[in-house]
Amino acid sequence: MVPIQAVYVIMQSYRKSLSLVLLFLISLSVPALSNNVSGQSTSEIEVLHTAVNPYNNKTYHLLSEGSWSDSAEVARALDGFLTTVDDTQENQWIFDTFADFDNQSRHLWIGLSDSNFAGEYRWHDGTPFHYRNWGEDQPSANGDENYVHIAGTNMGNIMPGTWNDLDDDPQYFPVYGVVEVGDAVDYALRFDGNDDHIIIDEDIPTFIGNISITANINLPDTSGIQFITMLGDYGWGLYINNGYISYSSEYSISRNPVSNLSIDENVWTEIAVVIQEGVGGYFLIDGEEAGEIMSNDANIPQGDFGSNDCYQSGEECDELFIGKMGAGCDCNYFMGMIDSVSVSNQEHSLAWDFLEGEGSITSDESNQYQGEINGASWVMPDGTIVAQAVQLFSDEMVYDISGQAGDQLLFFIEIEEYTKNLYIDAYIDYWNWEEWNDYNFDAYFAHDYIPNSWQHDDIREDNYEYMWMDYMWPEEGVLWMVIVPKTDIDSLTIYTYMEIADPPPSLDEMTELINEIPITGQTIDAGRGAPDEDRVLYYYVNVTENLSALTVKTYGGTGNVNLAIQSQTVPDPFDSFWGWEEPWFEDFDDMGVIGEFANGGTKSDWSSGPGNDHQVILYDLEPAIYYVTAYTFGKTSDFTIVASMTFEPQNIEPEDAIELMPGVAYGPLSGYNGLSQYFKVDVPEGTERLEVDLDQGFGEASLFLKLASSPTPSDYTYKSNSPGAGDKIGFNDPTPGMWYILLNTEMVFGDVKITASFEDRYVWEYDGTPIQLFNGEEITGIEAPKGESLSFYVELEKPGEYLIIQTFGGSGEIVMTGIGNVMFPDFDDFFDLFDDEMFFVEEGRQRPGGSFESEETTVSSYGLGTEQTIYIELPANGRFDFTVEAIEEFSDVTIIASWEYSDFIDPIVEPKEPVVELNCREVAKNEMSSKDLDKNGVLSQDEVKSVMINGKNIAFSTTDTNLDGEVEFAELLQISCQCGNELENIFSQLSPNNGDLSIEILTSQVYENDFNFFDIDTNSDLRISRSEVDILILLCETTFDAFDGDGDGVPDVDDAFPTDPDESKDTDGDGVGDNADLAPSIANDLIYSAGVILVIGLLAMLVLVSRGSRDSRKNDAWDSSKQYNLAEQMLNLHEQPSSEQKPIQIVQESFNYDSEIIQNSDAQTNLPNNDNLFEELLKQPDSPPQQLLGMIDGNGIESVEYPVNSGIRWQRSNPQQQWKRV
């Protein structure tokens, strides 16, 4: 039996021999064997000079003159090929080294030719054609001009060092070959890890006794299980298991042997496994043993396991797979490059070195076993795809591009200096629109290298029929694009366009700005109609070392100047969108970042607006020339411009941290994405609270704190990431020692100061009342025990673009919940705008707003621990409530709200509940006052014609109820408050759109008539519809009577008390209604006088009685009722028998319609206060003296009681008047 190690060595030697033979056969296939050679024979070509390229350490030979084919044949004999030029540096070195060797000008053959297929150039060694350096109008491709040389001098318009195509043996001048010593190109196949693989459906020999499997691989990611090869259904195979090598010895992957060493990523590695069946084996990594295999694992399964997939499909499942697991599982695909795979023992040898470099078929070295390539791509060992690169040109199209699924279609475009814009689009041209959406492709982009699926600068995935890419100020060089069809495609078109900016003026034509040196007296006054170039002043700043920031300011003078700064070339405000003076521009550009937003590969900043005070800033600058433009659309005079350089800070490493003194601000500071600045503060024992505060400035900054060592954005003790540059961290009881601080940003910030201070202990107090949050203002130190919650709210005056609530810092675990209204587009309303009747309203103006509605939403926060965020898009105006709930106890947490108002959405106005603004009385009053043109208090027949009740005219004949030829207010009021009119008036105001109204709303109104709404609620839904109201209008009965103001059934003309429903008669005319009068037929004054006399008599009798005995006094008690009757008889005031009276007709000559007719109200009778009947009976008191002063009420009326305690009151309007008794 042959030893295991010997088997491996024998097979490797056998493979190497075959490879050398194969390389020789390849050399015979190059164009060097062309029989149409008329130049010098190969035996006459000699080596004139040999040199080593210091850039790649390769050897080059300069041959004597000869044809391209003869020179290529000689190159093979010299163990090389006609040179392959990979880049500009190599091209220049070849030209400098050989084109003028020995002081003789020469044209030089290189290895580029399209002799096999016109237009498809390939290098002599098989390298794909990527780099090119064609001369003007080359290649011309005239006739047999299929071979390329580097032009020497005397080539007319073709510049020396550039390329030109010639025929194989030009007769008009000699050409000298340049040989590059080295092997032919080595191809590999790249697998995407998704479904790429090779299947070899041949009768694979049976390996028994021993087996050796070898592969040369390169993986960008070694994680997971990735099969290199496997036979059939769970047969022998080799794979990577999380970076280690594994051998497939049985069905269960978990029991397969694994190496004890792993392989590296992104490097070529030769791995192997050698098995002696039943004895043992080992793994090899780059020829070194990497682990043993025990005898129980030294199996050689033959791939006939009989898995379910193979059994159910009925297939034989005996193929050999490369790049995936075997036939029994559509899984575990390989991702990376495979350069070679070999399987061998002492009887059989199979080896695939992938020498084809193109096509979908690969054969083993014996050409007996062919494999079908499914999706895998041909690449060079460095990963560069093997494809014919197609050059794209500005404003040109490339038509009729086709490819199969998995192909790599390679394109490139050379980007010139000062390229302002590059646009690329690719689309399918359809002849049959039924094929729409049938095609799909991915596109990868990279600058100065060829991209692939896992290494690229940009990607456009899943492009159905159309794709576009746009670059602003792309970097000079070559942009490569690889299109990978996911389906077979044809008729693909690619269009490219480049816009080239003008180069900057020479430095002599611009003014240099030197750090901190102002330039005064700058003026632009071009005049009306002047060309744009007269409206600008150009400056430049020569930056010779890395800067943290470069600031340019203008100030002083008069007029209006605008300012811009840019790398690449001078800013052009008259050919740039960003030169527009939009109202939002200043707000957007406050931090000087708009240039990078707008211009991609360039750095720029713009500042525009009124006045001459402007500032532009660039951050993170490398040495270069930076261009400044001052410009105006009008004129500006005597302004000053100055540049200020901020050099990189010294504390960008943790060991260089700057120590902060307590309470002392340090700054100003500025920063940009990628710049970290470190500080530290020494906290002594007994410190109650430590605060680190950022103040002033602009931009966006973050703070991180950690004890004893420097924090990072992922390793810290405390963090603050509140919006803006005003971050703050504060906490109680800091551990004594050195606290380190990291200040950084993912954007930019500037003019910031940092302060570390020791403060008194902060104690949070909360009484349960919701706390209002204001825009951008932090509330720090909030805390709560587990299970409790804190309430906050914000008030938005207008709808917002966004609303953000953030918590951070401290310790614990919280969650936030927010409730409020958000805006959403009302698409129904939007399409209604196009309705002919709705699109223009209000005298032709387009209807504003209206395309947004609001709805209530509940939002929960996201985040970890105390770092929680609520983001609300398009918040509506109004109140938002937020609750911070303690999942675990938390403390020292900061909360902040920030929002931006929208300028494009109108506020949502809450609809007002309809109310009754005019009742039937007010309707009548309005109509009477507006239609009574002659102001005589009544309406004539002509005036009545314009009276409208509920939108309808009234009839004069039915309104003039007393037939006097005119309408008094009471008559109009009777019509207005007729039950049908009253109900129509109320309902139309509560439901202007005739919608249903609840009975609750209707019954809550005040009516003049009686209505029962439950009787007409036919469907018992407690709502009254328009139709139900119409029925009630027809059936209702008017109970209101405008001629009976108090509703007591007595018309006002017959009612002595028209406002008192309890009184209607005053028989004795004393102003007191009969129902309330003591003696309805006797005036009350007479009764009061008689009462006084009786009282006097009573007093006299009391005096007489007091002289007698008490017993007799009891018998003479006074009978008051008898005395009252006696008084009536004595004074002849007793009521006489009533006689029939004629009704009094009250005729209204005129009426004051501003006075009210009151129905159902209690009458008020003001009686004089006559408590002292004796004095009133004996004499009429005199009026108070004029000089006597009384009390003045709220109406300015002066009143007094005189005599004192008499109950007699007097009034006057001013001191000059006499007192009048009331």
CATH topology of domain 920-1035: Recoverin; domain 1 (1.10.238)
Look at 260 and 1184; give whichever has higher pLDDT: 260
Tokens of 212: 């050796």
1099 vs 799: CA distance, rounded Å: 86
Q: Letter for the amino acid at 43?
A: S
How far out from the chain centre does Cα 803 lie? 11
Please choose, from the candidates 290, 183, 174, 199, the residue with its C-alpha nearest in 3D space to the C-alpha of residue 241: 290
Q: Kindly report which listed range (33-42, 219-228, 418-427) carries the lowest average pLDDT score.
A: 33-42
pLDDT band at 1168 (very low <50, low <70, confident <90, very high): very low
Whether residue 12 has pLDDT greater than 70: no
1172 vs 1201: CA distance, rounded Å: 13
Instruction: CATH number for 390-500: choose from 3.30.360.10, 3.40.50.460, 3.40.50.12280, 2.60.120.380.
Output: 2.60.120.380
3-class DSSP string for 643-689 = EEEEECCCCCCHHHCEECCCCCCEEEEEEECCCCEEEEEEECCCCCE
Helix (H) or strand (E) holding 1102: helix 1084-1107
Tokens 């080896």 locate to 351
Domain 188-379 has CATH 1.20.140.10: no
Average pLDDT of the chain to the nearest whole number: 83
Q: β-strands 658-659, 718-720: how paired?
A: unpaired
Q: What is the CATH number of domain 649-762?
A: 2.60.120.380
Residues 1007-1028: pLDDT tens digits?
A: 999 999 998 998 889 999 999 9
Please choose, from the candidates 997, 1006, 1025, the residue with its C-alpha nearest in 3D space to the C-alpha of residue 920: 1006
Contact indicator for 339, 19 with CB cutoff of 8 Å:
no
3-state secondary structure of 6: helix
What's the pLDDT at 1112? 44
Order of strands, sheet of 458-463, starting from the edge strand that comes earlier in the sequence: 390-391, 409-415, 477-485, 441-447, 458-463
823 vs 809: CA distance, rounded Å: 31
What percentage of the chain has pLDDT greater than the value 70? 81
Question: Mean pLDDT, to the nearest integer, of 248-263?
Answer: 94
pLDDT band at 1052 (very low <50, low <70, confident <90, very high): low
What's the pLDDT at 42? 66
Contact indicator for 901, 837 with CB cutoff of 8 Å:
no
Q: Kindly report which listed range (423-432, 552-561, 1176-1185, 1213-1222) carries the lowest average pLDDT score.
A: 1176-1185
Contact indicator for 321, 227 with CB cutoff of 8 Å:
yes
What's the pLDDT at 653? 92
94 vs 58: CA distance, rounded Å: 12
Look at 1138 and 963; give whichever has higher pLDDT: 963
- What's 304's DSSP letter? B
Contact indicator for 379, 466 with CB cutoff of 8 Å:
no
Let me know how long the chain is: 1222
Residues 510-525: pLDDT tens digits?
A: 999 999 999 999 999 9
Tokens 């790599």 locate to 408
Helix (H) or strand (E) holding 338: strand 335-344
Distance spanning both ends of the chain, measured CA to CA: 147
1063 vs 1164: CA distance, rounded Å: 10
Region class of 481: left (phi > 0), else alpha (psi between -120 and 50), else beta = beta
What's the pLDDT at 747? 86
Tokens of 228: 């290199």
Q: Which of 623-627, 715-719, 827-831, 943-947 has the highest mean pLDDT?
A: 623-627
3-class DSSP string for 1032-1069 = HHHHCCCCCCCCCCCCCCCCHHHCCCCCCCCCCCCCCC
Instruction: CATH number for 34-181: choose from 1.10.1040.10, 3.10.100.10, 3.40.720.10, 3.40.50.2000.
Output: 3.10.100.10
What's the pLDDT at 1048? 64
Please choose, from the candidates 708, 783, 703, 778, the residue with its C-alpha nearest in 3D space to the C-alpha of residue 740: 708
Look at 1056 and 598; give whichever has higher pLDDT: 1056
Contact indicator for 475, 601 with CB cutoff of 8 Å:
yes
377 vs 1035: CA distance, rounded Å: 91
3-state secondary structure of 344: strand
Contact indicator for 723, 804 with CB cutoff of 8 Å:
yes
Tell me the β-bridge partners of 955: none
What's the pLDDT at 885? 96
Residues 912-941: pLDDT tens digits?
A: 778 898 999 999 999 999 999 999 989 999
Please choose, from the candidates 344, 211, 350, the residue with its C-alpha nearest in 3D space to the C-alpha of residue 281: 211
Look at 756 and 765; give whichever has higher pLDDT: 756
Number of H helices, E strands in the chain: 18, 72
Name the phi and psi angles at 241, rounded to 5.
-125, 95
975 vs 953: CA distance, rounded Å: 11
890 vs 882: CA distance, rounded Å: 17
Please choose, from the candidates 419, 420, 362, the residue with its C-alpha nearest in 3D space to the C-alpha of residue 386: 362
Whether residue 339 has pLDDT greater than 50: yes
Residues 1080-1126: pLDDT tens digits?
A: 655 555 566 666 677 677 776 775 655 554 444 444 443 444 443 43
Tokens 């990291």 locate to 742
- Rg of the Cα atoms in the chain: 53
CA distances from 795 to 255, 727, 880, 909 (A): 65, 23, 7, 15
How many CB atoms lie under 10 A from the CB of residue 763?
8
What's the pLDDT at 829? 54
Q: Give the list of residues 6+ apart from residue 201 with CB closer than 8 angstroms, or none.
A: 319, 372
How far out from the chain centre does Cα 824 lie? 15
What's the pLDDT at 28? 37
pLDDT band at 1069 (very low <50, low <70, confident <90, very high): low
CA distances from 803 to 567, 669, 870, 874, 1212 (A): 36, 29, 8, 8, 66
What's the pLDDT at 795? 96
182 vs 195: CA distance, rounded Å: 35
Tell me the β-bridge partners of 113: 122, 147
Question: Mean pLDDT, to the nearest integer, of 451-477?
Answer: 89
Please choose, from the candidates 656, 365, 627, the residue with its C-alpha nearest in 3D space to the C-alpha of residue 512: 627
* Identical topology for domains 188-379 and 920-1035: no
CA distances from 789 to 774, 818, 863 (A): 20, 13, 18
What's the pLDDT at 1086? 58
Look at 38 and 305; give whichever has higher pLDDT: 305
Residues 439-455: pLDDT tens digits?
A: 889 999 999 988 988 88
Q: Half-sphere exposure of 834 toward its Cβ, with a 13 Å CA cutoff?
A: 4
Name the phi and psi angles at 875, rounded to 5.
-70, 145
Enumerate the domain spans of the chain.
Answer: 34-181, 188-379, 390-500, 507-647, 649-762, 778-909, 920-1035, 1181-1221
Residues 843-872: pLDDT tens digits?
A: 333 333 457 888 999 999 999 899 899 999
Q: What is the largest CA-CA distance in the chain?
A: 185
pLDDT band at 474 (very low <50, low <70, confident <90, very high): very high
pLDDT band at 660 (very low <50, low <70, confident <90, very high): very high
Q: Give the list of residues 6+ apart from residue 567 with CB closer than 8 angstroms, or none.
A: 602, 603, 604, 618, 624, 625, 626, 627
Residues 894-918: pLDDT tens digits?
A: 899 999 999 888 887 776 778 898 9
What's the burial of 653, exposed, middle or buried (CB within 10 Å: 0-12/13-18/19+)? exposed
Q: Give the list of residues 6+ apart from residue 760 with CB closer than 8 angstroms, or none.
A: 688, 689
Residues 71-127: pLDDT tens digits?
A: 999 999 999 999 999 999 999 999 999 999 999 999 999 999 998 888 889 899 888
CA distances from 179 to 63, 66, 110, 854, 1205 (A): 7, 13, 8, 77, 140
Tokens 């004539």 locate to 940
Q: Half-sphere exposure of 466 toward its Cβ, with a 13 Å CA cutoff?
A: 2
Q: Kindly report which listed range (467-481, 799-813, 1176-1190) carries the lowest average pLDDT score.
A: 1176-1190
What's the pLDDT at 3? 43
How many CB atoms lie under 10 A from the CB of residue 608?
22
Assigned CATH class of 507-647:
mainly beta
What's the pLDDT at 607? 92
Question: Mean pLDDT, to the nearest integer, of 197-208?
Answer: 93
Tokens of 409: 């279609």
Contact indicator for 82, 179 with CB cutoff of 8 Å:
yes
What's the burial of 1121, exposed, middle or buried (CB within 10 Å: 0-12/13-18/19+)? exposed
Torsion of CA 1036, 1037, 1043, 1048, to 10 degrees: -130
Tokens of 272: 């192997």
Q: β-strands 536-543, 511-512: how paired?
A: parallel
Whether residue 677 has pLDDT greater than 80: yes
Whether residue 14 has pLDDT greater than 60: no
Q: Letter for the amino acid at 778?
A: E
Tokens 């606290």 locate to 739
pLDDT band at 1070 (very low <50, low <70, confident <90, very high): low
1141 vs 779: CA distance, rounded Å: 87
Does this model's pTM top 0.95?
no
CATH topology of domain 778-909: Jelly Rolls (2.60.120)
